[in-house]
Structure 1
Amino acid sequence: MGDAAAGWPGAGTQRLEDLAREAFVPGGVLSRAAEAFRPRSGQTEMAAAVARTIEQGGALVVEAGTGVGKTFSYLVPALLSGERVLLSTATKTLQDQLFARDLPRLADALGLPVRMALLKGRGSYLCTHRLEMARQDANLPDRTAVRTLAKIEEWAQGTRTGDLAEMPGLDERSPVLPFVTSTRENCLGSQCPKFRNCHVNNARREALAADVVVINHHLFFADLAVRESGMAELLPTVRVVIFDEAHQLNETGVQFLGQQAGTGQVLDFTRDMLGAGLQFARGLVDWQQLAAATERAARDLRLVVGRATPGSRLRWTGAAPEGVDERMWGGALEQMERSLAQAAEGLGTVSEIAPDFVRLHERAALLAQRLAAFTREPEPGAVRWVDVSTHLRLVESPLDIAEAVQQKLLKSGATGGEAEAAARRAWVFTSATLGDDARLSWFTEPCGLGDAEVLRVASPFDYPSQAAVYVPRQLPRPNDPAHSGAVAALAQRAAQRIGGRTMVLTTTLRALRAIGEQLQARFQGSAAIEVLVQGQWPKRRLIERFREGAAEGRPGCILVASASFWEGVDVPGEALQLVVIDKLPFPPPGDPLVEARGQRLELQGRSPFNDYFVPEAAVALKQGAGRLIRRESDQGLLVVCDTRLVQMSYGRRLMAALPPMRRLNDETEFDEALGRLGG
């Protein structure tokens, strides 16, 4: 991009901060980029702070409340700076929005010739070699998968990018996707017969040639851990790095900065080995026998764990995970290593026939190496556990990303030229929710950003007039078995009053199922209300249907959801006017990572509850409540079905973390407020 800002009216010797402020004045350049643009002091203040950080270098942390317009606050100074910029988001949704809408619109309004690129993880792109292999694969799950594969083949003829998100109607949960995408483990690299036209490599080449590159946090940390994603070449050439949706940075980072091995990876390897063996070297090795032995070893390891609840995490502080027989666990791990060694031996005999066998041999050795690491003591300061689902995932991770950020990003302790380059680089971290204290320590502490400049910009919304919060006093206690039923009954009655327009956010999958089933049973066959439940449709389809609401004579909607729906879901207008939260979103106390973080605080003489559990709940509650008011014209009600919010001393701190909505004191006031919405 060079000195792109030099071509912008008013540029020249002006400081970047002044240029940025000018863009936000009434009738300024932004009025051409955004419909109904209105100057907001908070938006301009944030843009000025970002501009100063870009000019001076260093780290800036900005909590920008809903409605501030933070996207333009960081994009305007970043584009005007003329520097090479890396933008990272937590979700592919925002990644696509920045690349396809916000960046082009803004660059056009500013009159800047900016070359942009979108870079996702390799699992987002079609692998044409694996697509070709999938045609010969007899392991496709069912006829639906065969039909989906045929549609992907047809789409593959015309796509330029290979980005599967661009394919109409493709379910992001489709079981076909692992057959037509590559992973770091199974990619053949330069030995691939389709290497010249590889969509992943094309995307990386475009990124290396671009002025602004849009990536996501998963890709960023995957590279930080393994130096493989193409970022290794890209990051040193970038002087401005901006993380949006930064509240997810720590939890994303710890996934990549430790070690992992899983029975799912072993089964994927087994499937690929059998497919390649039967296609390229049938009869040379007993592929069926090798695959059966490896598959049996993976399934035996899963069976050793027994009937642990799917979705649970098992503590692992000794020789075996909690509740698992040490002798059986050790024996099953050894058997899996042996079966992988036998597979590697068979693959070694045919390695010259096709590059697929060379890569499969490497994968067998790598999987065995990863499993062996879990027979040794964990690294100091790390926590180890087992994720349980249909498969097992063995995990060892640091408690946070602070050390990685300090050493690998900010280059703390660096000397000479490396230190000078690090000092010049600008890091911007922003989100609508980053903590509940002035220093935003919930975010800055685990991310190693204690010395960063911190800015908090309040939302411009008039919350006292736009929204109200109600805590029903008559509900059962949160741990009472009758609680979910009472939440469902309240949501049912309220949604009937306002014709749907209700989102119920749960803190557990058990509550999701209980509340969803009760509401669907109550409204079955109803022409007035349709109940949508997470997991029954793809997320994108659920949100699209919910946004439609009662338009065109369709029923109004209740959406019951958990986890990923607490944030990043934008439903402005009348389609959403009531958010019901079932319980205060404290971290699960039995989670091994949560426990280890609490124990570390105890060793430091601090309170795990006050310094970890309450701030975590405050941030999550603020995220959930943030679904309600998305525009200046929105009106709505928040119901928190947890009496601890008004009965416990920490409730005041949690209530203070919420936007300043007016309080409804009893059921009568709640009914009157519902009546005003229903009218």
Structure 2
Amino acid sequence: MVAGVFAPGGVLAQADAHFQPRPGQTRMAMAVARTMAAGGRLVVEAGTGVGKTFSYLVPALLSGERVLLSTATKVLQDQLFARDLPGLARTLGLPVRMALLKGRASYLCLHRMELARQDALAQEPGVARALASVQDWSRHTLAGDLAELTGLDERSPVLPLVTSTRENCLGTPCPRFRDCHVHRARREALAADMVVINHHLFFADGALRESGLAQLLPTVRVVVFDEAHQINETGVQFLGAQLSTGQLLDFGRDLLVAGLRHARGLADWSGLAAGLELAARDLRLVAAALPAGTRLHWGHESPQGVSSAPQGQGVSDREWAPRGAPDPEPAPQGVPAQAWQSALQRVASAGAQACSALAPVSEMAPDLLRLHQRGCELLDALARFCGPAHPDAVRWVEVAAQLRLIESPLDIAQVMRERLLAPPAGGDSPEKPAAGPGRAWIFTSATLGEDEQLSWFTQRAGLQDAEILRVASPFDYAAQAAWYVPRHLPAPASPAHSPALALWVGKAAEQLGGRTLVLTTTLKALRAIGAALQQQFAAAPGARLQVLVQGQWPQRRLMERFRAGADNGQPGCILVASATFREGFDVPGEALQLVVIDKLPFPPPGDPLVQARMRRIDQAGGRSFKDYALPEAAVALKQGAGRLIRRESDRGILVLGDTRLLTMGYGKRLLAALPPMRKLASEDEFEAALLALARGAACAAGATRSSTTAPAGA
């Protein structure tokens, strides 16, 4: 039945005149259908253009099973739920109940919206206007999904005021529980045949205790992870422990509002809130001299088996304290120990005073009861960070607008094996909800590794025994795309690299009329290249190009403007963006024809999580650069290259601004990970290819203008 849907003359061909049967798509769909019927674990790498979404949706819809679909982002969730699933269900003629389930922060909290009016932040004019807009929308929304408010910036300060978190949600005692949008979404999910979630939601609070999944998972036999390459990094964010100065500030703000509302005069709520705020800010100020984005190692490591990586790979050969040392590291690396310990003590003291004041009044209102529980949870988290780290975890401090204390596992393999993928001990269980086939787990993405066993993905996810399927892209990359390395660029470590690359990109993009995406490996390079390009075109008033830089506009607006290109008389675009645009950014057609990757995307050597992973490989007798850093770079490079060709008619050039691809021995391995594009060996060959793209784009634009101005019936 599944094969017939994809066959020539099948259901999809009848419904869409542009549908083209693809052997790879059918092959993947059959493997998915087989796994769904028999149970087990299937990992599929489906190259760009295979049509992997339909390859799992068709078997899922035809299976008759309840299916949980998890994808990487809320944008992809919305696309699945609003377009792909209902459209395909109509085509197949299947009545299917579908539900969309997001995390709490995606939904309006009616109770917190009412409290927001009393918050000092809500008195600021900009926040007050945004809050009024939310309140007006709240009167007619059914789902309460804030994505409906297209005019609300995702960075708006009003969002924390009108949404709940696991920490501040009151649950069933909430006075607005019956109308709660989160609760309604969970009820709909429990009654649905197809439930669309995201990876963050899946792993939140240990994957099972939060967001309704504890009830949902035991009733679902089939689970599909799309964009599965992200699940490891998503999972480690949620499976460890975190404490931030932002949490402390939020707690203090809520303490003041709830205390004055429900227990005025029974404690010095203003003084308690001020004490918490001061302690949180003092903790942040301990690292005030460090730039935002810094990650500070914090903890002991085992000295056994530590070996140095090849020189220049950024792996330290320092001696580490014995694993499991009884005393924790007194302070994060680079932070004065005495100042750090004093700041933690002030936080503990302020938190303890708040909890003591809340204890006798906590039964007076649900808000106060939850605040008391939150205070105790924050103190428990603080106590954990004052003790030694778990022996199989890494601990660090992240410096940003707030300070975050983080302890994380190195990967999700153990959790996946023990909590989710382990065979049932007997009888019904979350892993095997009823007699018959076991649970079916499908993991798919366009990029899951560089070797036949996809070990980059399977080892970290505990899926070494899964069935592996690799389906190549149907695109003719040799005809559609080429790659080029400008040999004249300075070494990637040189301060001159970013300015030189920006100058070269500007000249190329001007010939092409924009249509250029620059992907940088660091935020420093993002700012340098973006500023240099904006200055370059600001100094040339006649240039018909607009330089877009990530961070200067909201991400969605950047994407929409870039996709629009030179339509409606607008200038062409150069978009300079970081790694977040390496995946999930889809620009089919001629709006994107030149992708530039500034440097080889090796994992940052100073990152504590990266260091810990590399040490573990070295201690096990492996070679961390070869076994970790190179595969990471290969996958990231492949993801960036994947932005260029999105359909059969696309044409483009991939530029790699790192001469190490040509001069270092590992360059061949990285180039082999790319789609099989043709090589441009010289500047002359590049210029000829660029000119051909420019001429093709001009012809296409002329044809479009002619068709739109031709008389009726022409």
TM range (shorter): over 0.9
Any conservation in 1 of the 2:565–2:572 contact (CA below 8 Å)?
yes
Any conservation in 1 of the 2:521–2:601 contact (CA below 8 Å)?
yes
Q: Structure 1: how far apart are the matches of 2:69 and 2:689?
A: 42
Please say if 1:219 is aligned against 2:201: yes
CA RMSD of aligned residues (A): 1.4
Please say if 1:477 is aligned against 2:491: yes
Letter of the structure 1 residue corresponding to residue 457 of structure 2: F
Any conservation in 1 of the 2:207–2:213 contact (CA below 8 Å)?
no
| CA deviation vs aligned residue, 1:627-652 (integer Å, no higher than 9, x gap) | 11001000101000000111111111
Please say if 1:371 is aligned against 2:382: yes
Farther off after superposition, 326-335 or 581-590? 326-335
For the residue of structure 1 that corresponds to 2:590, the secondary structure is helix
| CA deviation vs aligned residue, 1:201-239 (integer Å, no higher than 9, x gap) | 000000000000000000100153560210000001001
Deviation for aligned residue 1:177: 0.3
| CA deviation vs aligned residue, 1:72-95 (integer Å, no higher than 9, x gap) | 000001110100100000111111
Equivalent of 1:557 in 570, 573, 598: 573
Q: Report the count of equivalent residues.
A: 661
Letter of the structure 2 residue corresponding to residue 409 of structure 1: L
For the residue of structure 2 that corresponds to 1:224, the secondary structure is coil
| CA deviation vs aligned residue, 1:21-69 (integer Å, no higher than 9, x gap) | 1110012111255561100000000000001101111000000000000
Please say if 1:466 is aligned against 2:484: no
The answer for the alignment partner of 1:75 in structure 2 is: 57
Any conservation in 2 of the 1:435–1:443 contact (CA below 8 Å)?
yes
Farther off after superposition, 521-530 or 465-474? 521-530
Q: Structure 2: how far apart are the matches of 1:415 and 1:377?
A: 37
For the residue of structure 1 that corresponds to 2:114, the secondary structure is helix
Equivalent of 2:394 in 377, 383, 393: 383
Equivalent of 2:552 in 520, 536, 542: 536
Q: Structure 2: how far apart are the matches of 1:207 and 1:303?
A: 44
Deviation for aligned residue 1:97: 0.5
For the residue of structure 2 that corresponds to 1:424, the secondary structure is coil
Letter of the structure 1 residue corresponding to residue 608 of structure 2: P
Please say if 1:154 is aligned against 2:154: no
For the residue of structure 1 that corresponds to 2:364, the secondary structure is coil
The answer for the alignment partner of 2:421 in structure 1 is: 410
Equivalent of 2:341 in 321, 326, 330: 330
Deviation for aligned residue 1:326: 2.0
Equivalent of 1:584 in 600, 609, 612: 600
Letter of the structure 2 residue corresponding to residue 623 of structure 1: Q
The answer for the alignment partner of 2:243 in structure 1 is: 261
Please say if 1:270 is aligned against 2:281: no
Check 1:76–1:230 CA distance in 2 against 1; reply closer, same or farther (3 A cut). Answer: same
Q: Structure 1: how far apart are the matches of 2:531 and 2:118?
A: 41
Q: Structure 2: how far apart are the matches of 1:245 and 1:33?
A: 27
The answer for the alignment partner of 2:311 in structure 1 is: none
Q: Structure 2: how far apart are the matches of 1:195 and 1:218?
A: 24
Any conservation in 2 of the 1:529–1:555 contact (CA below 8 Å)?
yes
Check 1:142–1:520 CA distance in 2 against 1; reply closer, same or farther (3 A cut). Answer: farther
Deviation for aligned residue 1:413: 7.3
Q: Structure 2: how far apart are the matches of 1:143 and 1:35?
A: 53
For the residue of structure 1 that corresponds to 2:464, the secondary structure is coil
Any conservation in 1 of the 2:221–2:432 contact (CA below 8 Å)?
no
The answer for the alignment partner of 2:638 in structure 1 is: 622
Q: Structure 2: how far apart are the matches of 1:585 and 1:600?
A: 21
The answer for the alignment partner of 2:588 in structure 1 is: 572
Q: Structure 2: how far apart are the matches of 1:291 and 1:143?
A: 24
Please say if 1:598 is aligned against 2:614: yes
Any conservation in 1 of the 2:218–2:433 contact (CA below 8 Å)?
no
For the residue of structure 2 that corresponds to 1:305, the secondary structure is coil
Equivalent of 2:278 in 270, 282, 296: 296
Check 1:347–1:417 CA distance in 2 against 1; reply closer, same or farther (3 A cut). Answer: closer
Deviation for aligned residue 1:349: 3.6
Any conservation in 1 of the 2:589–2:649 contact (CA below 8 Å)?
yes
Letter of the structure 2 residue corresponding to residue 263 of structure 1: T
The answer for the alignment partner of 1:5 in structure 2 is: none
Q: Structure 1: how far apart are the matches of 2:16 and 2:67?
A: 22
Any conservation in 1 of the 2:586–2:646 contact (CA below 8 Å)?
yes
Deviation for aligned residue 1:271: 1.1
Q: Structure 1: how far apart are the matches of 2:82 and 2:16?
A: 14
Any conservation in 1 of the 2:205–2:239 contact (CA below 8 Å)?
no
Equivalent of 1:208 in 190, 193, 199: 190
Question: What is the correspondence of 1:662-677 to structure 2 with a 5 Å cutoff?
Answer: 662-677=678-693
5+ residue gaps, structure 1, are 1-18
The answer for the alignment partner of 2:373 in structure 1 is: 362
Any conservation in 2 of the 1:434–1:619 contact (CA below 8 Å)?
yes
Deviation for aligned residue 1:124: 0.2
For the residue of structure 2 that corresponds to 1:346, the secondary structure is helix
Question: What is the correspondence of 1:95-174 to structure 2 with a 5 Å cutoff?
Answer: 95-140=77-122, 142-174=124-156
The answer for the alignment partner of 1:12 in structure 2 is: none
Farther off after superposition, 421-430 or 47-56? 421-430
The answer for the alignment partner of 1:394 in structure 2 is: 405
Please say if 1:438 is aligned against 2:452: yes
Any conservation in 2 of the 1:530–1:557 contact (CA below 8 Å)?
yes
Equivalent of 2:520 in 506, 512, 519: 506
Letter of the structure 2 residue corresponding to residue 118 of structure 1: L
Letter of the structure 1 residue corresponding to residue 453 of structure 2: R
For the residue of structure 1 that corresponds to 2:121, the secondary structure is coil
Check 1:594–1:439 CA distance in 2 against 1; reply closer, same or farther (3 A cut). Answer: same
The answer for the alignment partner of 1:185 in structure 2 is: 167
Q: Structure 2: how far apart are the matches of 1:96 and 1:526?
A: 40
Please say if 1:241 is aligned against 2:241: no
For the residue of structure 1 that corresponds to 2:264, the secondary structure is coil
For the residue of structure 1 that corresponds to 2:172, the secondary structure is helix
Any conservation in 1 of the 2:219–2:433 contact (CA below 8 Å)?
no
The answer for the alignment partner of 2:316 in structure 1 is: none
The answer for the alignment partner of 1:13 in structure 2 is: none
The answer for the alignment partner of 1:14 in structure 2 is: none
| CA deviation vs aligned residue, 1:497-525 (integer Å, no higher than 9, x gap) | 01000000000000000010111111125
Equivalent of 2:661 in 645, 655, 666: 645
The answer for the alignment partner of 1:16 in structure 2 is: none
| CA deviation vs aligned residue, 1:98-127 (integer Å, no higher than 9, x gap) | 000000011111111100000000000000
For the residue of structure 2 that corresponds to 1:105, the secondary structure is helix
The answer for the alignment partner of 1:11 in structure 2 is: none
Check 1:395–1:141 CA distance in 2 against 1; reply closer, same or farther (3 A cut). Answer: farther
Percent of counterpart pairs with the same letter? Answer: 66
The answer for the alignment partner of 1:451 in structure 2 is: 465
Q: Structure 1: how far apart are the matches of 2:156 and 2:484?
A: 40
The answer for the alignment partner of 2:706 in structure 1 is: none
Any conservation in 2 of the 1:263–1:393 contact (CA below 8 Å)?
yes
The answer for the alignment partner of 2:41 in structure 1 is: 59
Q: Structure 2: how far apart are the matches of 1:182 and 1:59?
A: 35
